[in-house]
Structure 1
């Protein structure tokens, strides 16, 4: 009976010690967790090489680790990665996350950078849940870079390499190779022909140089002629133009004087046309009548002599039968 009581006592003591050890462990976990902060990262790409416990680096400095990886159920194309970092790491607005490979081991880490001095720390609203904090912790935005960028662009790169290979295969087909060989042969012939005509080409180039020099001399002479023409215009033509302008001005003044004289004589001309011209017409009419009368007198004198002007003409004698 006494031995049984000892076993019960020992068992009770062991259970109490285990319970105290568990409580102490939980207390240490809570104490250590108070110096760390958790964040969520939603990667729209494969997270190969990232596992629970993978390191988290801020600007290359180890700062925490990955605590959870899971698919984001509302949108399965995203992978949610929960990280825990030291509280003294400056996770500010503008901080971004990428996946970087570590050496050639196939292991990857989450890299953080982009914090700007003076920016506000990433935090959730007071209620703890929002569009930016769907799981109650702040969300760090992502950017493509490193392994993620390579993995995302790998299919496009492979497609372009395949297309380039196909085009190179078509370019290097038997028919194209024959064409290229013909082109090279024609090029060699052309080179040989140019080499044979080297002296002629040299002579042509020499003549071209001479022609260019002559053209330069002609251009210089044309410039001198233009300068001479400008001098002649300045010394001879301009004085003549000045005299011509004076003559035109004098003629204009004479025309103005003539217009003034005509204006002054216009009343006399009007009186001449209204009075003198009718009188002259009447005088001409009277002269015409006088001329007709004198013609009749002369005709009478010619017929009957001067006596016909005094008396009436003599009647012929009448003789009875």
Structure 2
């Protein structure tokens, strides 16, 4: 019995030593790792869709660490605080920029660190874990733009559905029917319009021929007609001059008792005849000017 009890005791001691050795190794390795990593808090003022614990952290495209913890900021629940562990050799300073990046088409995300401008004294001065403000990522802007696009697309679809309602469909059908009838009327009116144009062309040709004949008639008979008119007007002017001359010559006799009335009588008769002839001419012109200018006989001279 004593031999068996000794074996059990020795086994327990061996297990305790093994467990202590493993624990010491793990503790030492953890201490070593903590000495080789740096801890930062990245603040996101946007949704961190696809980001989770263990998501990779990259610096200029090279993986340098991972996300250790995600939580809401206690001062502002709209802000997401992501605690990251990166290699201590990573050149992170106060000018380093951070943003959310899309890793693959499945929607998994990570954190991308980018070096900022090289400035003097670019170090974290506040005590505790350094904080990096994240910039809006292109993925987030694309997502917001896609959401706005979907909203506008939904509005467009609603408007389209309202447009193709039963009432509007009937109106569109009526419009199409009216357009069809209008096209038929245009085709019908086209033939009538062509016929009208042909008639107008014939009328213009007739008018052109008439104008030519009138011009020829004026050339043939117009000169003789206007010559007769000039002869009559010349005779009337001559009689007027003779009448004025007689009045001037007999002014003294008229004032003394109309002694020269017998000499004025023939002139008065000639004037009366000339006035009668002119009256007849004017009456004929007023009644039928075309017949007078183009179909009358030659004007006869007025004789005493």
TM-score by length of 2: 0.51
- Residues 165/26 of structure 1: CA separation in 2 closer, same or farther (3 Å cut): same
Structure 1 stretches lacking a partner, 5+ long: 129-135, 197-321
Query: 1:245-286: per-residue Cα shift (whole Å, max 9, x none)?
Result: xxxxxxxxxxxxxxxxxxxxxxxxxxxxxxxxxxxxxxxxxx
- 1:9 aligned onto 2:7: no
Mind listing any 5+ residue stretches in structure 2 that lack a counterpart? Answer: 188-192, 194-304
Aligned to 1:164: 156
Distance of 2:83 and 2:58 partners within structure 1:
14
Quote the offset at 1:87 in angstroms.
1.8
Q: Which residue of 2 aligns with 1:105?
A: 106
Deviation readout 1:186-225 (Å, 9 max, x if unpaired): xx99xx9xxx9xxxxxxxxxxxxxxxxxxxxxxxxxxxxx
1:147 to 139, 161, 166: 139
- Trace 1:1-321 onto structure 2 (pairs within 5 A): 1-118=2-119, 120-125=121-126, 128=127, 136-169=128-161, 173-174=168-169, 177=172
Distance change >3 Å, CA 183–CA 171, structure 1 → 2: farther
Q: TM-score, normalised by structure 1?
A: 0.49
Q: Is the radius of gyration larger for structure 1 or structure 2?
A: 1
Whether the 8 Å contact between 1:36 and 1:87 is mirrored in structure 2 is: yes
SS at match of 2:28: helix
Secondary structure at 1:83's aligned position in 2? strand
On the 8 A contact 1:36/1:85 being kept in 2, the answer is: yes
Q: Distance in 1 between matches of 2:56 and 2:4?
A: 54
> CA distance change for structure 1 residues 47 and 37 in 2, over 3 Å: closer, same or farther?
same
RMSD over aligned CA atoms reads 3.6
Do the aligned partners of 1:97 and 1:140 also contact (CA within 8 Å) in 2?
yes
1:149, distance to aligned residue in structure 2 (A): 2.5
Does the aligned pair in 2 maintain the 1:92–1:116 contact within 8 Å?
A: no
The 1:63–1:4 alpha-carbon spacing in structure 2 relative to 1, beyond 3 Å, is same
* CA displacement at 1:180 relative to structure 2: 8.1
CA shift, 1:97, in A, is 1.8
What SS class does the counterpart of residue 118 from structure 2 fall into? coil
Closer, same or farther in 2 for the Cα pair 1:40/1:155, shift >3 Å? same
* Contact 2:46 2:136 (8 Å CA) reproduced: no
Q: Which secondary structure state, in structure 1, belongs to the residue aligned with residue 135 of structure 2?
A: coil
Cα distance change on mapping 1:166 and 1:45 into 2, 3 Å: same
- How many residues in Structure 1 have an aligned counterpart in Structure 2? 188
Q: Is the 8 A contact 2:94 2:124 kept in 1?
A: no
